[in-house]
Copies of this chain bind each other. A is one copy, B any other.
Amino acid sequence: MKLITRDTDYALRALCFIAKEPKKMIAARKLFSELGIPYPFLRKIMQVLKHHGIVSSCKGQGGGFSLLVPTSRLYLKDIIRIFQGEFSLNECLFKKKICPGVSSCMLRRHILSWEKQLKENIESVSIESLLSETGGSFEEKKNN
């Protein structure tokens, strides 16, 4: 069970990297070589972020991406929503048919409450808070 899919994770890494070079344009090629994210996949992800107004872009030589939203107002939950849709623990179990079976009915109350708790947890995480926790260092790669 995945809370965060690969595209969300890649997007977070890319955004963290870009966030540390404000006002500079960062090319996808640069993100690829620094972060090791598969290039075409990364391209697609950046375009999605662009369409959602998270980053701005510039074509042509010297072009790339830069943050549009300040890190303090860019939340994990936003990125999750963009790549994974509205956060929900009981997706398609209660969506179409409400209460298709007794165990669902019984569990529903529990699951909704757990979901609420998880949501509140996720709400508290911003890109800024992620960066400040690690001091913005990208040194972890050397540990492999």
Contact = CB atoms under 8 A, between A and B. Distances in A.
The contact size tier of chain A is 35 or more
A57 interface: no
Contacts of A133: 106, 109
A144 B13 contact: no
A143 interface: yes
Given A9-B104, A35-B101, A140-B99, A110 B125 contact: yes
B102 A16 contact: yes
B144 A97 contact: yes
Contact of A1 (B87, B107, B113): B87
Contacts of A121: 110, 113-114, 117
B13 A102 contact: yes
A42 to B, nearest CB: 12
B117 A1 contact: no
Contact of A89 (B1, B10, B37, B84): B1
A4 interface: yes
Nearest to A86: B1
Interface string A19-54: 000000000000000011100000000000000000
